[in-house]
Amino acid sequence: MLIPVVIIGVISLILGIGLGIASKKLHVFINPKISEILRVLPNANCGACGYPGCSSFARAVAEGNASASGCIPGGPKVAHAVADILGVSAGTSEPMMAVVHCKGGTKEAASRAIYNGIQDCYAASIVGNGSKVCQDGCLGLGTCVKVCPFGAIQISPNGVAVVDADKCTGCGKCIKACPRKIISLIPVVHKIYLACANHDRGAKVKKYCSVGCTACTLCVKATSSGAISMENNLPVLDYTKTENFIPAANKCPSDCFVDLVSVRPKANIDTKCDGCGACVPFCPVPGTITGEKGLRHTVNKEKCIGCGLCLDKCPTHAISVWGAGSSMKTRQSGQRKG
Amino acid sequence: MGNIAGLIGISIGAVLINNFVLSRFIGLCPFFGVSKKLSSATGMGMAVIFVMGLASSFTWLINSFILQPYHVEYLQTIVFILVIAALVQLVEMALQKYSPSLYEALGIYLPLITTNCAVLGVAIINTGLNQFTGAPFTFIESVVNGIMSGIGFMFALILMAGIREKLELADVPELLDGLPIVFITAGLMALAFLGFSGLNFFS
């Protein structure tokens, strides 16, 4: 009875020690991110990402050859988890969302023909560059809808593609898919963008689109820090300059801007304020909260974008938000979700 | 000379007459799994040859110097599995270190050699009688048998891979597309290999 036990025990011991030494000697460094990414992937090996399986996709992501949001069945949750592992969304990089720079639907923008071909923007743009008079308008045939892995884009009843801010992860697939090149990424915090991509002169634009940019430059004048500049008859918004675009949007005579927040709340500082100034550095729009140290501070209602970042920074709970209602809550949660 | 003739007999027997895959029907999992591409079939075949050769020598030594003297031959299955598993681990580590491209190509099939019945099969056959000499396998004979069985395995694998690469382009009925047509092909190949059982030089 003892002999077989000893034999097996000794053989296993020798093999075990041998393997232990070999694994040290033959150790190969593998990027630890690959296994980490593999852990958060669904591991369905469906191949929807274009790679043979989850492990090769994980390797491609870790090596920077694939986008973090490439896993389609995983959806935004997995995309965020992968991005977290890669450190993409961490630190200074801002959450982005896609926006369609056009709001001229069938009501606003004139058509010059009826398109009855294949229901695809590429196909339509091959046939005489689409049915709209505007050569930069959204064709509304949903090529971007088809490529969106998160179901964040819809064609509005008006015939223009609209991005759902809550679902969009900023993966940028639609940007590549759009034959008109009128989709771009904006920081999620701003939620305000110019919904026109037409470079024609004002008089010409007015003839075929009621919401087209006429290059009047009123928005440029409404901003102080040069965050909006005119380029080829179209204002260009520079989101890197922390600027409040609301006054500019309100000035637009053609209503070209889209503000994704229906009611912009305003912060208000009440008498409990002891003038500590703790809230000032957290305000993304410089010069919104002003006041002398030790005295009650005030909010410049023109500049406040109602982001609510100052709310919980006040040690005396003197800051509240007016005119917000439920939209304030959705805005804040949307912001954090990014 | 008789020794060399015996070794040639063992070789022909292992590669053609008693081909592991097509006559003994052992080790079918990698035969179907890794036979899609000629390059990975070659790599897999090489790994199997290497593991079979090593496993044959090690298991023969363990069998004749440890198991038989102590009359514990009944332990051979578990001991052989132990040795083979350790060997495969070693080969896997060595491949990952020195030939990452081959490691990539073999993928999940390399650990499969661990439980590949063909490797265990050759080790167990080596403990029996040599059908050409009627005596137990000598050390040299068992190593040759192991390597040649591996070559026979690789031979079948490469034949299959060549056929499957052509099959990709063929117009296969939808219901038979994929694995079913491969099963049928394997059956036809086994039928063809049945012809080799008529080869009988040495008896």
Query: What SS3 class is residue B110?
Result: helix
pLDDT value, residue A216: 87
pLDDT value, residue B183: 92
Provide the token pair at B4. Answer: 């060399």
CA distance A11 to chain B (A): 8
* Separation of alpha carbons A267 and A310, rounded Å: 8
pLDDT tens column, B62-74: 889 888 888 888 8
Q: Say whether both A103 and A141 belong to one domain.
A: yes
Does the beta-carbon distance from B66 to A4 stay under 8 Å? no
Question: What is the domain extent for residue A298?
Answer: 266-322
pLDDT value, residue A84: 82
Enumerate the residues of chain B whose CB falls inside 8 A of the CB of residue A23: 93
Enumerate the residues of chain A whose CB falls inside 8 A of the CB of residue B100: 28
- Could you tell me if residue A334 is inside a domain? no
Does the beta-carbon distance from B82 to A11 stay under 8 Å? yes
What does each C-alpha distance from B64 to B32, B60, B67, B123 come to in angstroms? 34, 6, 6, 12
| A35 in contact with chain B, both atoms CB, cutoff 8 A | no
- Could you tell me if residue A102 is inside a domain? yes
Q: Which of A246, A333, A255 is nearest to A288 (CA)?
A: A246
Overall domain count for chain A: 3
CATH number of the domain bearing residue A231: 3.30.70.20
Q: Closest to A15 (Cβ–Cβ): which among B70, B72, B83? A: B83
**pLDDT at residue B202 is higher than 80:** no
| B78 in contact with chain A, both atoms CB, cutoff 8 A | yes
Q: Say whether both A178 and A232 belong to one domain.
A: yes
pLDDT value, residue A326: 38
Does the beta-carbon distance from A8 to B66 stay under 8 Å? no
Does the beta-carbon distance from B90 to A19 stay under 8 Å? yes
Q: Which of A91, A97, A202, A178 is nearest to A130 (CA)?
A: A178
* Separation of alpha carbons B83 and B137, rounded Å: 19
Q: Specify whether the CB–CB gap between A254 and A234 falls below 8 A.
A: no
CA distance B95 to chain A (A): 9
Name the residue of chain B whose CA is nearest to A23's CA.
B93
Does the beta-carbon distance from B82 to A15 stay under 8 Å? yes
Q: Closest to A26 (Cβ–Cβ): which among B70, B83, B94? A: B94
- Could you tell me if residue A185 is inside a domain? yes
Q: Say whether both A314 and A226 belong to one domain.
A: no
Q: Say whether both A169 and A250 belong to one domain.
A: yes
- Could you tell me if residue A27 is inside a domain? no
Q: Specify whether the CB–CB gap between B37 and B31 falls below 8 A.
A: no
pLDDT category at B112 given cuts 50, 70, 90 is: low
Give residue B83's identity as a one-letter amino acid code: V
Q: Say whether both A193 and A310 belong to one domain.
A: no
pLDDT value, residue A322: 66
Q: Say whether both A107 and A227 belong to one domain.
A: yes
pLDDT value, residue B155: 92
Name the residue of chain A whose CA is nearest to B79's CA.
A8
Query: What SS3 class is residue A299?
Result: strand
| B135 in contact with chain A, both atoms CB, cutoff 8 A | no
pLDDT category at B179 given cuts 50, 70, 90 is: confident
Q: Say whether both A155 and A295 belong to one domain.
A: no
Query: What SS3 class is residue B132?
Result: coil
pLDDT category at B110 given cuts 50, 70, 90 is: low
pLDDT category at B109 given cuts 50, 70, 90 is: low
What does the pLDDT average to over B43-57?
Answer: 85
* pTM (2 d.p.): 0.49
- Could you tell me if residue A9 is inside a domain? no
Enumerate the residues of chain A whose CB falls inside 8 A of the CB of residue B62: 11
What does each C-alpha distance from B109 to A268, B53, B86, B88 come to in angstroms? 66, 18, 16, 11
| B67 in contact with chain A, both atoms CB, cutoff 8 A | yes
User: Could you say which residues of chain A have pLDDT below 50?
Assistant: 90-93, 324-338
* Separation of alpha carbons B150 and B52, rounded Å: 6
Does the beta-carbon distance from A26 to B96 stay under 8 Å? yes
- Could you tell me if residue A331 is inside a domain? no
CA distance A37 to chain B (A): 18
* Separation of alpha carbons B143 and B118, rounded Å: 15
Beta strands in A38-103 (DSSP E): 96-100
pLDDT value, residue B187: 93
What does each C-alpha distance from A75 to A80, A169, A196 come to in angstroms? 9, 9, 30
Provide the token pair at A79. Answer: 């995309």
Q: Closest to B70 (Cβ–Cβ): which among A3, A12, A15? A: A3
* Separation of alpha carbons B122 and B113, rounded Å: 13
Q: Say whether both A77 and A152 belong to one domain.
A: no
Enumerate the residues of chain B whose CB falls inside 8 A of the CB of residue A19: 86, 89-90
- Could you tell me if residue A15 is inside a domain? no
Q: How many Cβ atoms sit within 10 Å of the Cβ of residue B40?
A: 20
